[in-house]
A and B are shown apart, each in its own frame.
Chain A
Amino acid sequence: NAGVMQNPRHLVRRRGQEARLRCSPMKGHSHVYWYRQLPEEGLKFMVYLQKENIIDESGMPKERFSAEFPKEGPSILRIQQVVRGDSAAYFCASSPPVQGNTEAFFGQGTRLTVV
Chain B
Amino acid sequence: SQKIEQNSEALNIQEGKTATLTCNYTNYSPAYLQWYRQDPGRGPVFLLLIRENEKEKRKERLKVTFDTTLKQSLFHITASQPADSATYLCALGPNSGYSTLTFGKGTMLLVSP
| A positions within 8 Å CB-CB of B | 4, 31, 33, 35, 40-45, 48, 55-56, 91, 93, 95, 99-109
14 A-B pairs in the complex with CB atoms less than 8 angstroms apart:
A40-B105, A42-B103, A45-B101, A48-B99, A48-B100, A56-B100, A91-B43, A101-B32, A104-B46, A107-B43, A108-B42, A109-B41, A109-B42, A109-B43
For the complex, count residues of B whose C-beta is within 8 A of A.
Answer: 27
Within the complex, what minimum Cβ distance (angstroms) separates A109 from chain B? 5
Total inter-chain residue pairs, C-beta < 8 Å: 70
Given A4-B43, A31-B99, A43-B103, 5 other A-B contacts at CB below 8 A?
A: A35-B103, A45-B100, A99-B96, A102-B99, A106-B45
The residues of B that contact A99 with a CB separation of less than 8 Å are: 96-98
| B positions within 8 Å CB-CB of A | 4, 31-32, 34, 36, 41-46, 49, 51, 89, 91, 93, 96-106
Residue from B41, B44, B45, B104 whose CB has the most chain A CB atoms within 10 Å = B44
| A35 CA to B100 CA, complexed, in Å | 9
